[in-house]
Amino acid sequence: MYVRPFIGILALALVGACNRQPAAASQTSTAPAATTPAAAPAASPAAQPVASQPAGAASGAQPAPGAPGAQPGQETAKPVPAVLPQVLAKIDGAPVGRDELENAVKEAEARAGRSVPPAERDSVYRGLLDRVILMRLLASEAKVRGITVTPQEVTERIGQIKQQFPSEAEFQKELTKRHTTMAQLEEDQRRDILNTKTIEAEVAPRAVVTPQELEEFYKSKPEQFKEQESVRASHILIGVAKAFCIGLGVSKLTLVVEFVIMGLVLVMRPYGLLGKPPAMARATGEAPPPLAPPRRWAVAAWLALFLLVPLLGDRYVTVLATDIACFALFAVSLHFIMGPAGMVSFGHAAYFGIGAYAGALLFKKAGLPMELALVLAPFVAGLFAVVYGWFCVRLSGVYLAMLTLAFAQISWSIVFQWDELTAGSNGLVGVWPSMWLSGKPAYYYLTLALCGAGVAFLWRALFSPFGYVLRAGRDSPLRAEAIGIDLRAFQWAAFVLAGTLAGLAGVVFAFSKGSISPSSISIAQSTDGLVMVLLGGVETLTGPVVGAAIFTWLRDEVARRTEFWRAVLGLVILAIVVLFPQGLVGGLKALVARGRPA
């Protein structure tokens, strides 16, 4: 019962192999001449039988190119291999004949609405030959199994097709367009149902999976299926929440609700909806070396150089130095919780942007003086850091990083979609400093004073008992808690301090530009901060300042020279990271230490 399909597959393989043989090899076949008219000179498939035909049937063969009687430019087909009729004859004793192939070609031409060019007839015949053989094998197998198709089944199939058209007239119009009659359509559907039943009868008995086998398969890979179920559950939860917002007529919340759900899941079940908490690690590897405090003479030298920038440089250099000072404070505040405290943040731009928007709104909407808005804005960012940090410090590792990203995206979504308050994607404009700070040199000195004081304060905190507690919690949290340190409280305080000073950097930057947009609170800004810290060196004190200066200068310089500045900037940063894996400052320190005599 199962032999005939395999014979059919073997026949199709032989047909494909024979069709790739050269004509000379085919003509040297030892098949009897009575059954191999194809061994005669090449003839067009439209005029010569493909399989066994009477010997006189070959008299209508067209001469090959170059033979007497051949017409110039006349298309001729490749000869059908002589072994093919034998293979077909062995299948069921009824090889495919010329009339059957001709009818198939005519049917294909009618449905395509065009005639097959002579140059394509050979390939069409070969494809139809395989199809006719397969259809015949399936029909024969169906006959052996007693499989039939009732008129009711054909009628139901036709009814399903008609349901796709609005009216009977449209259905008939489609038939006319496809050059198909109702009888041909019914015959095609009857044949399709018959073939489907035959294939299912052959495959279904071998494709049955018992409930026991399915249960064993699930038990063999429990973690994989739990992870998939957790992903499905999160997708369903987010989809239902979005649909609920749309149903309430507040479609603008669909962007916010996605990140709100992300934050809630990370807060309540950081290891996943259906996951399990990982075991707490006892050892974290070798602790990074302690940070070295900056030398006073070096700080004084750099400070003197910064004070001379407006005097030695032009307006462009002053504006660039102002940007560098703002981003230096932003990078140092991120390094404060990322390096010594060991809390990686993927959303530190939230506090930078909140400080910028808070200052702009206090100045534009509340009508406060620029000086008062500049003072209050960092505390607004600090309040958000109090809320966000309370949840974040309860996690660690990648869960902490993802939660900071979720909070940052929530803040960005609110800013981006609350048009009435924040002007949406257009941002807020007209945020200029007071008259006495309208000059670029004057505002640069204010920026240098505020950002310099913020950097100095963070550096001083690192070498206080507060900073030592943060490093103890980073290097060995279990030992720190064992000796009575309330690690979460100190980490929370560090989070609030870093967020407040990042907000200071943001509001100073906003007033220096005169406007603010959602890009300042986006994930791209958070990524820039990470690049600044990593570029200079995480395990160094001055690395974030150097990284911020190089990144800001590179971005501005490359962007003015080419429209592909992002690609060029990425290649430059990649080269620096490859050459100095410890950062620029860390790499230079290692080179200097290596050059010193032992």
pLDDT tens-digit readout, 363-412: 988 889 999 999 999 999 999 999 999 999 888 888 898 899 989 999 99
Question: pLDDT band at 459, cuts 50/70/90?
Answer: very high
Residue 7 phi, psi dihedral angles, 5° rounding: -65, -40
**Across residues 12-24, what is the average pLDDT?**
43
DSSP secondary structure string for all residues of 360-425:
HHHHHTS---HHHHHHHHHHHHHHHHHHHHHHHTT--HHHHHHHHHHHHHHHHHHHHH-HHHH-GG
| 380 vs 59: which has the higher pLDDT | 380
Question: What local confidence, expressed as pLDDT, does residue 388 receive?
Answer: 94
Q: What is the pLDDT of residue 29?
A: 36
Query: Average pLDDT in the 77-98 region?
Result: 49
Look over the chain and give the mean of its residue pLDDT values, rounded to a whole number.
75
Q: Which of 17-21, 541-545, 549-553 has the lowest mean pLDDT?
A: 17-21
390 vs 40 pLDDT, higher one: 390
Question: How distant, in Å, are the alpha carbons of 302, 398, 483, 489, 505 from that of 351?
Answer: 28, 20, 33, 20, 9
pLDDT > 90? residue 592: no
Q: Show the domains of the chain with their CATH numbers.
A: 3-52+78-205 (1.10.3120), 210-276 (no CATH), 316-595 (1.10.3470)
> What's the pLDDT band for 233 if we cut at 50, 70, 90?
low
With 50 as the cut, is the pLDDT of residue 188 above it?
Answer: yes
Residue 61, pLDDT above cutoff 50? no
Question: Rounded to a whole number, what is the distance in angstroms from the first to the last CA of the chain?
Answer: 87
Least confident range of 27-31, 114-118, 533-537, 538-542: 27-31
Q: Looking at residue 130, what is its pLDDT?
A: 67
- Higher-pLDDT residue of 21 and 356 is 356
d(CA 528, CA 573): 11
Which position has the higher pLDDT, 585 or 223? 585
Which is higher by pLDDT, 353 or 281? 353
